[in-house]
Amino acid sequence: MKMVKSLVLGSAAALVAMSGAQAADLPVKAKAVEYVRICSLYGAGFFYMPGTDTCIKFGGYVRADTILGSNNDYGFAGGVTGSRNRDSNYFTSRARMDLTVDTRTATEYGVLRTYADLVFTWTGGSYSGSSPTIYDNSGAGVSTGTNATIGGGQLGLYHAFIQFAGFTFGRTVSIFDTPWQSYPAGGPDTLPGGSNHVTGVNQVAYTAEFGQGVSASVALEDPTQYDQSNVWNLSGATAVGMITGAYGVGDIGGTRSPDFIGSVRVDQAWGLFQFSLVGHDNHAAYFGLTEPTGHPDDKWGWAAQAALSIKNIPTGPGDSINLQAVYTDGATRYNFQSLFPQAFAVYGGTGLAGAYQSVGLFGLADTVFVAGSQQETVKTWGFRGGYTHNWTPNWATSIYGAYGQLKYGTLGKATICGNFTTLLGFVGSCNPDFNIGVIGGNIVWTPVKNFALTLDVNWTNLDQKNSGTIVAPVSLGVAKPAAVYELKDQNAINMLLRAQRNF
C-alpha cells in the first residue's frame, strides 16, 4: 500500500509540475476585440468610431468631364474662349474626386456635427494669346479670369464647418442660396439669376426651427472671395482694359464689414419656399495712389431673392420644378453669382464694311465712381428655373433657363461712354448696360444605382446695348490686332459630357 500511495502522489506531483510548465508557455489572454458597430441614428452609412459615442460617415464622388466649345469647365464663353481663334481650346477635360467626412455626436444641447468636403481636381491646361502655357504635373500655370481653369492638379476645400445648438461655424453654402444653388435642373456653372456658393463661403450662422418645416436663419458671411464684384474708379480707365470689359481701375479697399444675411424657409412634402435678404458694404480705397488723394464714403448695397420648388408634380414620380428670382442694388454677385465672370469680351464675325470683327463687351460692378465723387451703385435683376422629368428610374431629362440684366446709373453711363469715345474712338449709340440669357437641357442615364452619365447642352446669348464701332488697340492676351471692331450681340453653344459615380 505504501508503494501504491507513493506512486499516486508522485504521479500527481509530476502532473502539477507539467501543468505549471505548460501554463507558463500559454499566451496571455487578449483583450476583447471591439468590432465596428452600425450607427442608425443619422441614416444609412454611419458607424460608431471605436471606443467613442461619435458616429462617422464617409462619402463623395468621382467625376470625369469633357466640355466642348469652351476653354474652361462648363462656364461662359468669354476670355480666351471668347477670342474664338487658334489660341483657344475647342474642348476641355477635367477629372475630380470629392471626399466628404461627416461626424455626429448626441449631446444635451442637440447633435454636435462636423463636416468636411475635400476636392482633388485635375484640369486640362488652357492657353493665353500668343504665349501658350505648358503645364506639367506640378500644376503650375497662370490663371486669368474669375472662372479660368488651371492645368494640373488642385486641392480644394469646399466645406469645413461645425454645427452646435443651431449655430454653424466655418465654411459651407450660404443661407442666401437655394438648395439647388445655381443648378435648377443642371446646366453650366455660370447661370445668372441668383447666388451660388456651391464651393462654400466662410461664415457664422444661426438657424431656428419652428416646426412644420418652418425655419429662419441669420448669418455673418465673409464677402471677400465670392460676393464682392468690381468697385471701379472710372477715372483710371484704359483702352487695354476697356476692350476686355474692365471699365475702370479696380479700387476695392480692405473689408470693413461682413455681409449680413437673413432667410426664412418653408420646407414641406409639396416643396419649398424661401425668401432671402442681404446687406453688403462697398468700401473703396482712394481716388489716387496715395492717402492724401481722398476717398469716397462707404456705400451699402443689398439684394433680395425669392425661391419656389414644387415636388412630385402630376407629370411623374420625382418630377420637380425649381424657380427663383433676385434683385440687387450694389450687391451684383448675388445675381451674377460667384462663378460668373466679372468682365468679359466675346468676339464674332461681322458684315460691316471696314470692321475686322465684331465684339460683345460686358463689365459687372457693385459700384462705380470718379475722382472726387461718391460711389454710385449698379442695379441688376434676374431669374432662373428648371423642370426635371423622370421617364423611368433609369432615365431623366431636364430643361432650364436663366436671365440676368444689369444697369448702370447716370454717372456710370456718362463716364463709361465718355471713356469709350476718348479711349476707343467709339462711334455710334453707347449704353454699357447688358442682358444675358441661357437656355439648355440635359439627358441623364443611370444604368446602375449611384452611377450617372449626363449629356448637357446650352445656348447663351449676350444682348449688349452698344451699337457702333470702336478702334481697339492690340490685345496680345487673345491675339487680336489693333483694328476697327463692330459692337454686336454674341452667342455661344457649349456641351458637357459627364460620368459620375457617387459613394
Q: What is the mean pLDDT of the chain?
A: 88
pLDDT band per the 50, 70, 90 thresholds, residue 32:
low
20 lies in some domain? no
Mean pLDDT of 427-444: 97
Structural domain that includes position 400: 60-502
pLDDT band per the 50, 70, 90 thresholds, residue 440:
very high
Q: How many CA atoms lie within 13 A of 177 on its CB side?
A: 24
245 lies in some domain? yes
465 lies in some domain? yes
- pLDDT above 60: residue 97: yes
- pLDDT above 60: residue 5: no
| Predicted local confidence at residue 75, as pLDDT | 75
- 356-370 residue pLDDT tens: 999 999 999 999 999
pLDDT band per the 50, 70, 90 thresholds, residue 148:
very low
Q: Strand 467-472 and strand 451-464: pairing?
A: unpaired
29 lies in some domain? no
35 lies in some domain? no
Tell me the residue type at 89.
N
- pLDDT above 60: residue 221: yes
DSSP string, 391-443: EETTEEEEEEEEEEEEE--HHHHHHHHHHHHHHH--EEE----EEEEEEEEEE
pLDDT band per the 50, 70, 90 thresholds, residue 98:
very high
Quote the cell numbers at residue 138: 506640378
177 lies in some domain? yes
Count of the separate structural domains present in the chain: 1
Q: How far apart are CA 110 and CA 392, in angstroms?
A: 40
Q: How many helices (H) and strands (E) does the chain have?
A: 4, 26
- The answer for residues whose C-beta is within 8 angstroms of residue 312's C-beta and 6 or more apart is 269, 270, 318, 319, 320
Beta bridge partners of 41: none
- 454-489 residue pLDDT tens: 999 999 999 999 999 999 999 877 889 999 999 999
CATH code, 350? 2.40.160.10
Q: Which one, of 278, 245, 284, lies nearest residue 262 by Cα?
A: 278
248 lies in some domain? yes
33 lies in some domain? no
Give, for 4, the enclosing helix (H) or strand (E). helix 2-25
